[in-house]
A and B are shown apart, each in its own frame.
Chain A
């Protein structure tokens, strides 16, 4: 069996003004071919205006088992949300 082409993660900007979004993955020998293949596979129906490809083994990810401790700080700081504060109606929109 010959060597397998590397795996690429594909990100597509759906419309002008939006961020790129992960849409899936594919195998390709290099970045140029990955973009060409992504065009063929992920934008057959006008789904995109821009493509990013990233070799999958270059992506670092948070670990699911750390979910608790990793996001705990954001859960305990409810004053980060504007609804935490009572603002009198009289002053109008704020």
Chain B
């Protein structure tokens, strides 16, 4: 999902403390920043929350790309508000990660030099306005699917960040679906654009949940610690089941010939995305990986004088105040 393939860190802690910790998790008692926690729990969470935060921030780029070209002033203001929310989501998550003993700037540096990842989905381009509809509908839809259960995660600050984020997300998905409805009910050309956006973003959205359970090696420990609540395939299935009727309402076709209702499981059978493509995108070879990293690095470098200047001003003011006292 926003955090894909987060490797659980091995833990070498006192077995007695570990057992007491697990008991607490099993009893649904939240772990707070100053409580004892296994090293592996702390490190895995930093990686997972950090990756989630980076995804919120990098995720602003494909949508920000369309703010200046939104078809109406109202659409522009809505998209601006949506993208601003994502900046807030990034902040909530960075702040949660910081309680684990890593600094905000360290996290940023790790993203910028490639030591940390962000979700594969944001390495795909948004080519036209219909893509903005499809992103809100599918990408935020998939994000919500993952974030709702994470509200119950064992780490207090992460759980509280998720609760805030979930409150804001449903506006995101609805604004996307609203764009899709307009396009799908529009002219032939608009309808074609909507279908084309769905065709291109469907499989990348399915990839957001991470590799299939059979291939996902890091889940068990994370599930034990309740920092992962559902398996990748479970969430992907829920997402497909939720999305199929929504596509149908739009009169659009999900680009999957194998999509069939399976009475026994009470859900849709669907085709997996191309996992080779997924791993390739994660390695840095997606259509926009280079662009995204260049944009983030440029923003960080170009903003350095502002960060330094404001800090220098604050220090000067503080010095003047102390001198006056």
CB distance from B236 to the nearest CB of A (A): 31
Is the CB of A25 closer than 8 A to any CB of chain B?
yes
Which of A2, A7, A29, A65 counts the most chain B CB atoms within 10 A?
A: A29
A41 and B88 contacting across the interface, CB-CB below 8 Å: yes
Specify which chain A residues have a CB less than 8 angstroms from the CB of B105 in the assembled complex.
Answer: 1, 4
Q: Which of B88, B103, B310, B313 contacts A44 (CB 8 A)?
A: B88
Interface size class of A (residues with CB under 8 A): 20 to 34
Is the CB of B218 closer than 8 A to any CB of chain A?
no
Interface residues of B, dominant DSSP = helix
Is the CB of A84 closer than 8 A to any CB of chain B?
no
Least CB separation from B92: chain A residue: A24
B92 and A29 contacting across the interface, CB-CB below 8 Å: no
Is the CB of B248 closer than 8 A to any CB of chain A?
no
Least CB separation from A42: chain B residue: B88
B1-45 toward A: CB 8 Å interface, digit per residue (1/0)?
Answer: 000000000000000000000000000000010111000000000
Q: In the complex, what distance in Å separates the CA atom of A4 from the CA atom of B168?
A: 28
Least CB separation from B103: chain A residue: A4
Specify which chain A residues have a CB less than 8 angstroms from the CB of B85 in the assembled complex.
Answer: 44
Which chain A residues (1-54) contact chain B, with CB distance < 8 Å?
1-5, 7, 24-27, 29-30, 33, 40-41, 44-45
Which of A3, A25, A33, A40 counts the most chain B CB atoms within 10 A?
A: A25
Specify which chain B residues have a CB less than 8 angstroms from the CB of A3 in the assembled complex.
Answer: 308, 311
Which chain A residues (73-88) contact chain B, with CB distance < 8 Å?
none
Specify which chain A residues have a CB less than 8 angstroms from the CB of B318 in the assembled complex.
Answer: 30
Is the CB of B307 closer than 8 A to any CB of chain A?
yes
Is the CB of B127 closer than 8 A to any CB of chain A?
no
Specify which chain B residues have a CB less than 8 angstroms from the CB of A24 in the assembled complex.
Answer: 91-92, 95, 160-161, 164
Q: In the complex, what distance in Å separates the CA atom of A45 from the CA atom of B317?
A: 32
B97-121 toward A: CB 8 Å interface, digit per residue (1/0)?
Answer: 0100001110001000000000000
Specify which chain B residues have a CB less than 8 angstroms from the CB of A29 in the assembled complex.
Answer: 307, 310-311, 313-314
Is the CB of A63 closer than 8 A to any CB of chain B?
yes
Q: In the complex, what distance in Å separates the CA atom of A88 from the CA atom of B92?
A: 53
- Give the interface of B toward A (CB within 8 A): 32, 34-36, 81, 84-85, 88, 91-92, 95, 98, 103-105, 109, 160-161, 164, 168, 304, 307-308, 310-311, 313-314, 317-318
Beyond known contacts A7-B98, A29-B314: 6 more, CB 8 A cutoff: A2-B304, A24-B95, A24-B160, A44-B88, A61-B34, A63-B34
